[in-house]
Structure 1
Amino acid sequence: MNFDKNRLAEIAAALSPFEIDCAITVALKISDDTCKMGTGQRALFMALYDLVPDKSSAMFAEDAHALILQGRSALSDEIAAAIKPLRESAMDAITRPKMKAFKASIRARLSADEAA
């Protein structure tokens, strides 16, 4: 599937609060290397996370964003251990089916085939 990455900022700006929580959760999973997506998909979803203009969340405190940054730059056992309870708690609240639906929705919105 081809993605129109030029639409990422527009999509990121239009995310609902629930979708922002999903984007943060995916970023946590990528940052602690528990995400099963391939390299290209990881880059796509991290770019989406980076472009979210207001990452305020009822689910996450500001320290989640610091942990994502630390995990991205230099993942250590300590950082992974700090990310794990945040990630697990978020996945319990969001549920796997809703997370899968979020990722599929983002992929569909970014589909260059859909935009054509």
Structure 2
Amino acid sequence: MTPAGVADWVAAHPLAPAEVDCTVAVMLKILDGKCKMRPTEKRVMEWLYDSVRDCPGERLDADTHALIDEARRQPDESMRLCVYERRVLAETVISRPVMKAFKAMIRQKGLLDPGHDQEEAEA
């Protein structure tokens, strides 16, 4: 998959605001170093985030996007701690069933490998 391929996937499968929030939460988890996805899946999720970052979310706001931008530019330990705190907060406002449904949907609709063990790829 390429960044253009992910953008095409998003065009064919527009995300609901709650799914945009899930994408943002996964991006935070990638940036704080706690994401257990394979490196190739992390790249796809980063491209997904880039493709939907301007779409409306349900609960996560522009401040979260600004933090992600800063963390991508300055990936040091103090920034990682800020991202960690924001990620934990994000995970408290997104219900577990919503996140699990999102992860299942992106696998079922072909963004990520549906054959990969989802427990190992827990984001």
TM bracket (short chain)? 0.7 to 0.9
Structure number with the higher helix fraction is 1
2:81 paired residue number: 81
Gap regions ≥5 residues in structure 2: 115-123
TM value normalised by structure 1: 0.77
Aligned length: 112
Instruction: For structure 1, list consecutive stretches of 5 or more residues without a partner in the other structure.
Output: none
Aligned to 2:24: 24
Q: Report Cα offsets for 1:20-67 as digits up to 9, x if no partner.
A: 000011111111111111101101111111111623334223221122
**Partner amino acid for 1:21?**
D
3-state SS, counterpart of residue 110 of structure 1: coil
Deviates more, 1:52-61 or 1:31-40: 52-61
Structure 1 residue 110, shift from structure 2 partner: 1.9
Q: Check if 1:100 corresponds to 2:100.
A: yes
Q: In structure 2, what is the Cα distance between the partners aligned to 1:113 and 1:81?
A: 30
Which runs of at least 4 in structure 1 moved beyond 6 Å after TM superposition?
none
Matched, 1:12 2:10: yes
Secondary structure, in 3 states, of the residue corresponding to 1:79?
Answer: helix
Sequence identity (%):
36
Shift of 1:108: 1.7
